[in-house]
Structures are given as structure tokens and as C-alpha cells.
């Protein structure tokens, strides 16, 4: 069976997340490279105080994802597909050989800083569970106005969708969603209105930064955020990385593409296990694991066993 590596995005972070990575030489090399490229110890970016910054969060997630991937790679394990949620897409792009890790660090730092400057306060994201897309879109349309903008953003599952915008607009939708039968409607620990048109200017500036970076054809198929397709053209991947910050993440549809293309072992890179839980619910016949929940050794063992069975 084919293997897919899943790289989580913002919201999965926790203090000390880099300390939980496998104690492998390959991991240390990635952490040292990140510290050298940034001219600051990446361990300083994973404290509770530091993680209040969107920039620190995104750099930490990129570093954790790439380090975990390198740990698997050092054991001879290479996935058949990679997919990253939001900023996790940069980890996926590095894993696929599309962009260099140092270039990714530089651009993700720019990405975080642009997002923080654009909406420093009063904006964020919420999540609604147990309500279908059409019904939620109706509530969002009713709540929207220019002073209190709110948009649908990430489709993580058919019944788990995030909304982005002003905190007041989000709260309107959450209140209505609860009254209309949603099983859960709550704010997320995210301080920017990601994946909606409010960040269109960020996408434009990000595209300029990405234009100066060498992009290569992936040696591992990369599932895009915006259009939920396997992307092979470097131009398409560059566009996906630039525009996903202001576009809805079609995560459920992207994971379906992985499954339809034969992925039956899905392993979520650290930190967290949200993507693994979504996959387990969507694909009960697949084997789903996360490094955070199952441990690197167990994930490595199953992946190695799968590799031997394919020979």
C-alpha cells in the first residue's frame, strides 16, 4: 500500500514542540540549519510566549515537519505522496524536493510577518462541526457586512469547516450555528483571518517573494491546498503556496485524492494528530498514524513493514 505523509498547520502548535522530535542526528541537523539560517535558536521560538507570534508558530511548524521527514528519510522511508495543511504545505514542498529548506524558512518568516502586520488584532478564525457546507455558507452570508467581514475558509471534513474574518463577524456565525444545530462552534487559537480574501494582499507579496526562489519538479507527488489536485509543475506549486493564504484550504478533497490514488498508510508529522483523526474518520479502511500519538518508532516500524511487503 502507498504511504502519504501529512504535515499539520497552525493550531497544532504547543510549547516545546521541537523537544518532542525524534532524538536522531538527522533531526539535529535540521534544527541546527534552521537556527543558522534564522540567526536565532529555533528552541527560542517554541516557548509559550514566543508562540503567541504567528511568525514563530509557522517557523516552528515548518522546522518540525521537515525534521520529522528527515528522520524517516534517514531510515530509508520515502512516502508516495505528501500533503500539508496551510503552512504545512511548505514542509510538504521541502519534503517533495520542490524548494530548499533555507528558502522555505525565509519565505515562511515573511509569510508570518505579513499576516501579523495586516491584521494585528480583532481578527481570527472559528470552527463549526456538525453542519454541512451549504447551511454554514448561508449563515456566513447573512452575518457578513463590511464592518464585520466573515468568510468560509478551510473544509477539513464535510462536517468540519472553519470560518475566518473579524472576531465580531465570526462570533455572529458561531452563535447562529449553535442555534441551528451545530454540534460545536468555537473560536480557534489563531490571531489572523487566514485563508480568506482579507489576506489577498499578503498572497500578492508572498508571490513576489516566491518568484525569487528556485522551484523544482517534485520527486514525490504534492497534493495542493487550493484545488485539491496532485501537482507536478513547479509553477503550479508556487501558485498554491502563494495563494493558499487567501484561499480556502480544500483539505478533505485533497485527502480524498490521496486515498483515490492508493494511499492506505497515512502518517501525520508532528506536532499533533488532528489530520490523522480526520483521515481515520474519512477512510476507515486505511491505516492512519501520527508521530505525536503513536511515536516515531512505531510509525517507522509500520512504514518499514509496508515497504518490505511492496517488494
User: If you average pLDDT over every residue of the chain, what do you get?
Assistant: 96
Q: Which of 86, 164, 191, 203 is catalytic?
A: 86
What mean pLDDT comes out for the span 159-188?
Answer: 97
- How many other C-beta atoms are found inside a 10 Å radius of the C-beta of residue 146? 5
C-alpha to C-alpha distance for 71 and 27, rounded to whole angstroms: 6
Residue 71 has pLDDT above 60, yes or no: yes
Active-site residue 85, yes or no?
no
Q: Is the pLDDT of residue 292 over 60?
A: yes
Q: Which three cell numbers mark 310?
A: 511492496
pLDDT of 119 reads: 84
- From 12, 194, 195, 247, the catalytic residue: 195
Q: Is 86 a catalytic residue?
A: yes
Residue boundaries of the structural domains of the chain: 2-118+198-309, 123-191
**Residues facing 150 on adjacent strands:** 165
For the chain, strand residue ranges (E) read: 2-7, 81-84, 123-129, 150-157, 160-166, 184-187, 222-223, 230-231, 263-268, 287-290
Measured between alpha carbons, how far is 171 from 159 in angstroms, rounded to an integer? Answer: 19
Q: Does domain 123-191 have CATH number 3.30.70.250?
A: yes
Q: pLDDT digits over 220-265, tens only?
A: 999 999 999 999 999 999 999 999 999 999 999 999 999 999 999 9
For position 24, what pLDDT does the model report?
94
Q: Does domain 2-118+198-309 have CATH number 3.40.366.10?
A: yes
Residue 1: is its pLDDT beyond 90? no
pLDDT higher than threshold 90 for residue 190 = no
Specify the pairing of strand 230-231 against strand 2-7.
unpaired
Q: How far apart are CA 311 and CA 309, in angstroms?
A: 6
Residue 60: pLDDT over 80: yes
- The lowest-confidence range among 21-25, 124-128, 188-192 is 188-192
Give this prediction's pTM: 0.95
pLDDT for 310 equals 63
Amino acid at each position: 500500500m502507498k504511504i502519504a505523509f501529512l504535515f499539520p498547520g497552525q493550531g497544532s502548535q504547543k510549547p516545546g514542540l521541537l523537544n518532542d522530535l525524534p532524538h536522531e542526528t538527522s533531526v539535529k541537523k535540521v534544527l541546527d540549519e534552521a537556527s543558522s539560517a534564522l540567526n536565532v535558536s529555533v528552541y527560542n521560538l517554541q516557548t509559550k510566549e514566543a508562540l503567541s507570534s504567528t511568525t514563530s508558530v509557522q517557523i516552528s511548524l515548518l522546522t518540525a515537519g521537515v525534521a520529522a521527514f528527515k528522520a524517516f528519510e534517514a531510515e530509508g522511508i520515502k512516502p508516495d505522496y505528501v500533503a500539508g495543511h496551510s503552512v504545512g504545505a511548505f514542509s510538504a514542498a521541502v519534503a517533495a524536493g520542490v524548494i530548499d529548506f533555507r528558502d522555505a524558512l525565509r519565505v515562511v518568516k515573511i509569510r508570518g510577518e505579513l499576516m501579523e502586520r495586516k491584521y494585528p488584532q480583532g481578527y481570527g478564525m472559528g470552527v463549526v462541526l456538525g453542519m454541512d457546507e451549504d447551511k454554514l455558507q448561508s449563515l456566513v452570508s447573512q452575518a457578513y457586512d463590511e464592518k464585520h467581514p466573515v468568510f468560509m475558509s478551510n473544509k477539513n471534513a464535510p462536517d468540519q469547516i472553519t470560518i475566518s474574518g473579524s472576531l465580531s463577524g465570526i462570533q455572529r456565525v458561531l452563535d447562529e450555528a449553535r442555534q441551528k444545530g451545530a454540534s460545536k462552534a468555537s473560536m480557534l487559537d489563531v490571531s489572523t483571518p487566514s485563508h480568506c480574501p482579507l489576506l489577498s494582499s499578503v498572497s500578492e507579496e508572498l508571490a513576489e517573494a516566491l518568484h525569487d526562489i528556485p522551484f523544482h519538479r517534485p520527486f514525490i507527488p504534492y497534493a495542493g491546498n487550493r484545488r485539491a489536485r496532485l501537482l507536478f509543475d513547479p509553477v503550479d506549486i508556487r501558485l498554491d503556496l502563494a495563494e493558499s493564504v487567501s484561499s480556502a484550504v480544500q483539505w478533505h478533497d485533497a485527502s480524498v485524492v490521496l486515498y483515490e490514488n492508493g494511499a492506505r498508510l497515512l502518517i501525520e508529522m508532528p506536532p499533533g494528530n488532528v489530520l490523522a483523526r480526520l483521515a481515520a474518520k474519512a477512510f476507515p479502511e486505511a491505516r492512519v498514524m501520527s508521530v505525536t500519538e503513536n511515536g516515531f518508532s512505531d510509525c517507522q516500524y509500520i512504514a518499514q513493514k509496508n515497504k518490505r511487503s511492496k517488494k
